[in-house]
Structure 1
Amino acid sequence: MLQIDKKSPLPIYYQIESYLKQQIDDGFLQPGDLIPSEREFSETYDVSRMTVRQAIKNLVNDGYLDRQKGRGTFVATNKISMTLSGLTSFTEEIKHRGMRPYSRLLSFQTIPAPYKVSRRLSVALDTPVYEMKRLRLADEQVLALETAYIPVSLLPELTKEDATGSIYEYAEQAGLHLKNATQTLEARSAGEEEAELLTIEPGAPVLLIDQRTYLDSGDMFEYSRSLFRGDAYSFTVAMERS
């Protein structure tokens, strides 16, 4: 039971934060457990909701808690660790970890490539390209928001149904040979719309990955921008000294 010492030089929010952190570290609170609401904490320990909110915010930022809009605050599950070596799809990565991958298609349309997309794909301006916006999930947990662009000429029969699965697998079954990809990683904060889709708080940390995927012919296959939840993902980079 939490004992708050209002005469202590330690701030009350810090006492709450330390207590919850210890409960998690000692295993009394397990990944996925729902913690009491700010109101319940406030009424139980006779402290302000602003004080409780500060403690919870700090624990969310430190990766101990996961605040889900409309559901409450939960003990964070273990992060999915992905190694940035080798070209694999999200679907393949999640299956490899014994989890069930799922893509929720937000939009699928053919558009004339705007300037930025045409530059990234190395195609002429206004070239027909697919634009696919997908939420990527593992075991029903939202992990990433992805927007991908592929020249229509490479996969002329691609449908909405195909876009809910692995595009890499579909492309290879269609006779294309994927060879490599380049990635650019950038840390940033989630905007309001992004946060709502990712079921996190606005301003929560996310990792933006810009990726360009190439065919064995050297032609560009795909350009994608993916926002990964900072509280759900960690990345490992394998490096060798030459």
Structure 2
Amino acid sequence: MLDKQSAIPIYVQIEDYLKQQIAQDVYPVKSIIPSERELSELFGVSRMTVRQSLTNLVKEGLLYREKGRGTFVAEEKMEQPLNGLTSFTEDMKARGLSPGTKLIGFSQVRPDPQIRARLGLSSEALVHKVVRIRYADNTPMAIERSYLPVDLLPTLSEEALQGSLYAFIEQQEKLVIGQATQRMEAALAKKEDAEYLQIAIPAAVVQIERVSTLEDGRTFEVVRSTYRSDRYKFISEIGR
């Protein structure tokens, strides 16, 4: 099982063995893997060596730990391209997943100075503030807080927000979406967001702010999204 005479470190061999077992469905998604003690006895190595292997696999996203319960096989992360302007609903359908939305907040407010500046609004202008949990196959994936000018989208309603916002803008409002700028950073989940996303804290998340414009240059949206880092990885194609 292990070649202790090999130049390949023992902890790497253990990682490769566990990866193979996961790939062959010996340990299916969300199943618990043997404990550190059990694995150290199986391989005839110290628990410290096993712990190093498991920690590396957790960092890779193949495993996750639950305090007091053990170590489990993680679900495969979904790739989210950073190029291309699509809605969450469109992304999930393209992957063959069933998108879902839970609207937890819809109101008209005066935005804070930063949001107002992003949207190019006057101090008296109102925005629709939309807070939604986004699901894929009934699993919460992200929490979105969107800010949209009321003057630009006066007919936006709770009913419209049950589906794709971009489809509503293009098909109902007859506006043409142009481009967007995104800012992304890693963070720790806030308590409220962790509850929405059904993750334990402390937990790492990915926060993205997107500022989107119409084809005519008007800014129609600022959306601040918090994604589960255990379910997402972001990719970008870069040419020289």
Q: If the length of structure 2 is used for normalisation, what is the TM-score? A: 0.78
Which residue type is aligned with residue 144 of structure 1?
A
Percentage of identical aligned residues:
40
Aligned residue for 2:114, secondary structure, equals helix
In structure 2, relative to structure 1, the CA distance for the partners of 1:136 and 1:66 (3 Å cut) is: farther
The CA deviation at 1:23 is 4.0
The 5-angstrom pairing of residues 128-207 of structure 1 reads 128-173=126-171, 174-207=173-206
Aligned residue for 2:193, secondary structure, equals helix
Alignment check: 8 A CA contact 2:110 2:126 kept: yes
In structure 2, relative to structure 1, the CA distance for the partners of 1:211 and 1:21 (3 Å cut) is: same
Which residue type is aligned with residue 142 of structure 1?
P
Aligned residue for 2:151, secondary structure, equals helix
Could you list the runs of 5+ residues in structure 1 that have no partner in the other structure? 1-9, 11-15, 46-50
In structure 2, relative to structure 1, the CA distance for the partners of 1:103 and 1:73 (3 Å cut) is: farther
Distance 2:141 2:239 in 1: 29
In structure 2, relative to structure 1, the CA distance for the partners of 1:55 and 1:141 (3 Å cut) is: farther
The 5-angstrom pairing of residues 81-100 of structure 1 reads 81-100=79-98
Distance 1:56 1:192 in 2: 27
Distance 1:77 1:209 in 2: 22
Distance 1:196 1:165 in 2: 23
Residue 217 (structure 1) aligned with residue 238 (structure 2) = no
Residue 34 (structure 1) aligned with residue 31 (structure 2) = yes
Q: If the length of structure 1 is used for normalisation, what is the TM-score? A: 0.77
In structure 2, relative to structure 1, the CA distance for the partners of 1:122 and 1:153 (3 Å cut) is: same
Aligned residue for 2:109, secondary structure, equals strand
In structure 2, relative to structure 1, the CA distance for the partners of 1:108 and 1:62 (3 Å cut) is: same
RMSD value, Cα: 3.3
Partner of 2:42: none
Could you list the runs of 5+ residues in structure 2 that have no partner in the other structure? 1-9, 40-47
Partner of 1:231: 230
Distance 2:61 2:220 in 1: 35
The CA deviation at 1:44 is 8.8
The CA deviation at 1:58 is 6.8
Aligned residues: 222
- The match for 2:105 among 107, 122, 147 is 107
Distance 2:159 2:65 in 1: 32
Distance 1:24 1:88 in 2: 32
